[in-house]
Every structure is written in structure tokens, then in C-alpha cells.
Homo-oligomer: A and B are copies of this chain.
Amino acid sequence: MRHKLHALSAVVLTSLVFGLAGCGNDAKPAASAAASAEQPASAVASAAAPAAPASQAAAVRNEMIKPIPVAEVKDPAMVELGKQLFFDPRLSRSGGMSCNSCHNLSMGGSDNLAASIGDRWQKGGINSPTVLNSSLNIAQFWDGRAKDLKEQAGGPIANPAEMAFTHDLAVAMLETIPGYKAEFSKVFKKDKIDIDQVTTALAAFEETLVTPNSRFDKWLLGEDAALTTDELKGYELFKSAGCVACHNGPNVGGASFQKMGVVEPYKTAHTAQGRMDVTKSDQDRFLFKVPTLRNVELTYPYFHDGAAMTLTDAVDTMGKLQLGRTFTPEENGQIVAFLKTLTGDQPKFELPQLPVSSDSTPRPDPFAK
């Protein structure tokens, strides 16, 4: 089996050139993308997601996808605080929305909606990406406008179409809650809570939301029986067709910005311009952060506009638009079968109990004029 896969590698490297053409990133030369994909997990993962231990790394198959490293919890009290904040709707103007509303940890860290429901039922601007394994991404948001989870975490709280609060009001609210005061003080050793502490704690919790032990990772770590013949065929096709050129590394994506619609333009009524909205460079038009394929079975619908309702649809569209290839139903089914092996252990924890408000905690009115 090993021998066969090594032989396959040659095919992959050949097809990679084609693959990269079909998944082109005008901003990065093909060679560097291929090289970074071949780097060990630690190179792509954030500092918070440690590389696999050496003994494990030695056993990893030589593939462009790397196993998800187990999360290392450095500060349990900070992670616990971040978890409470993640579930706390008092961080929203209405008092009715939390991070977990759109990044639901019961549903793959997503809301399974094409567009999320924001404050006053506003339609979300872009499909909510999963929070799972997001620490492994090169940047946050589809357009990468936040460099890390800490920077991301402040976004939705203050976005008028999302949680619609302000950082000042959120911090002032937290200051009135004795339970939070005690926790922040213990974790950050400061007299006052500030938004930096809030986003630091949220990021610390989110960094624990990795999903190791998928069947595919077991296979990567040498367990031949972890995949069925069809799933393995799907993976071989995923490589030979060129999908792996963009969807690689431990997060099977998340490592680069790529154009949506290479061989054919992507038809959508959605107005997002992707990376260009950040860089203002026309070269970056329709470049989006490659979404992770980890737990992809759980995170439907797909694409930045949420237009692909099923994995079958998504694989079909990606094949045509990015690779100029029409997969047969059998091929599509094999790739989908492979993709479903990327579902790992979901985060396990007790539903947090939130510190109780005091009499001076503002009482939000979702219906205020």
C-alpha cells in the first residue's frame, strides 16, 4: 500500500501543475504553493496548535494532507473563560445572540445556513465558516481581513449586521458581572476588563476546537483499514484531479487565497469581492481563503455564498469551475466518500454555565426602536 502511494505521488506532482492552473492564485506562484503544501503541519498551524510529536510525525504518510494536531491547553482558566464568552448572548446588542449562534458547536461549528441570521434578522453578508480547526488557517474571514482568531473575535460583536454591539458596551456589561470580574482578574491579573482580554480568551477557547482522529487521519498515521476502497479511490482522485493543490495541509485548506472560478467564472448574485475587499488590488478579485474540508460533511451549505447545498453539488461545481473537469457520478461519489472521512472528534465539553448578571447589568431590549 505504501509503495503504491509513493508511486501515486509522481502522478500527483504531475497533475499538480494542471491542478494549480485550475486553482490558480494570481498572488502566489505555483511553486511556492506546492512547496508550502509539502511542509510539515507545524509550518501551517498557528503557534497555538502545536506540531505532532516527533514519534507521531515519523509515522505520518508522506501526503500533502497532514493529521490534525491535538490541541494543547496552556491556560485552562483562560479557555474556560473563553468558552463562557463564546456562549454568552449578553455580548450582543439584543442579548439573544452568541458566537455559538452562528458557529454552533453542536453542528460542526457552523449554522448550516447559506446566510446567517444577524441582529434584527438581518441577512448575513457571507456564509459563516466553521470555527473548528480555524486556528490552523493562515488568516480569518473569507477575505482574510483578520490575521488571527484574536483579531477575528472582535469583529462579529461590533458588526451592526451581526451581534450589533460595541466593544465598549460589551466590556461595560462584563464589568457588572461579579463572576466574570473574578475570572478575568484571575486570568489576566488586571483591575479592569478590556476588549483585548475578551478576544484573547475567546481565541484561547477557539484554539482548543480542533478535531483530531478522523478516519482519514488514522489512515495518514498508518492505519490502512481506516479507509474503504471507495474512500481511498476518492482520495486518489482528489489528488490526481488537482483538488489537493489548494486543499492541503492539516486543515485540508485554509492555507492560501485562491480564485473562485478559474476555468469558468463562478456565477453568483453575491457581491463579495473576496481578498480584493481587503487589498483593494484588482488582482485579488474573487480570491477567497480556501475553506477547510475538515468536517465538511457537517458544515454545509458550501462556498462563500452558501449556494452549494450538498457535497455532491460542491464537488461537481469545483471540478468544473476550478479544474475544468466533469466528474462522473461514480467519481463524484468517491470524492464525497473520501471527504466524509475528514470528520474528526468533535469538541467535548460540558455546556457552560454563565456567570449571573447583577442588578446593575444592563437589561437588553432586542426590540428597542
Residues of A within 8 A of B (CB): 87-90, 94-96, 101, 104-108, 111-117, 120-121, 123, 297-298, 300-301, 309-312, 346-354, 356-357, 359, 363-367
Distance of A351 Cα from B353 Cα, bound (Å)? 12
A363 to B108, CA, bound (A): 16
With contact pairs A113-B96, A350-B348, A365-B114 given, residues A359 and B312 touching in the complex (Cβ less than 8 Å): yes
A346/B353 in contact, CB under 8 A = yes
Q: Which one of B101, B105, B123 contacts A351 once the chains associate, using CB atoms below 8 Å?
A: B105
Main secondary structure of the interface of A (DSSP, over half): loop
The residue that A366 contacts in the complex, of B108, B117, B300, with Cβ under 8 A, is B117
Contact indicator A366/B106 (Cβ below 8 Å): no
A95 to chain B: which residues have CB within 8 Å? 111-113
7 nearest A-B pairs in the assembled complex, by CB-CB distance: A121-B121, A310-B359, A96-B117, A106-B354, A309-B363, A351-B351, A123-B367
Contacts A95-B111, A298-B356 supplied; 12 other A-B pairs, CB < 8 Å: A90-B112, A94-B113, A94-B117, A96-B101, A96-B113, A117-B366, A120-B121, A123-B366, A123-B367, A347-B351, A350-B350, A350-B351
A300, B298: Cα distance in complex, Å: 35
Q: Which residues of B contact A312 (CB under 8 A)?
A: 359
Q: Are B349 and A350 in contact (CB under 8 A)?
A: yes
- Shortest beta-carbon distance from A36 to chain B in Å: 31
